[in-house]
Amino acid sequence: CVANCCTMPVEVRLPDLLRLKLVDPFEAEHEAPKQIAKRLDRAGLIEHFNFTNSIFTLARRASGDCLFLDAASRRCTVYEQRPDTCRKHPQVGPRPGYCPYGARAKGS
């Protein structure tokens, strides 16, 4: 695996943000998700917030890589705390176990 899935948008929920330590328990309990989203957006940690479903989309680097992906090693820097979306990939979806992201072409 060369972490090509780590270039896809990662949707997370509040428990994921707590696990990643982007939100502390006090803030999660006392702040509205919309306020949390505003703070995370200003900090450059999310790129979108779905108000209806309270789903946050993590920000990515200009390269498209996840903020938590080490560019040199292509390894997750928060593997033990990674979001549920990442934990379940590619076990969920129409073809469980199939990852459509093959090795990147050299020079891409």
pLDDT at 102 over 80: no
Burial of 95 (0-12, 13-18, 19+ CB in 10 A): exposed
Residue 108, pLDDT above cutoff 50: no
Q: What is the pLDDT of residue 31?
A: 95
User: For 8-54, what is each residue's pLDDT tens digit?
Assistant: 888 999 999 999 999 999 999 999 999 999 999 999 999 999 999 99
Q: What is the pTM of this model?
A: 0.79
pLDDT at 71: 85
d(CA 65, CA 11) in angstroms, rounded, equals 14
**What's the whole-number mean pLDDT along residues 48-70?**
92
User: Which position has the higher pLDDT, 90 or 42?
Assistant: 42
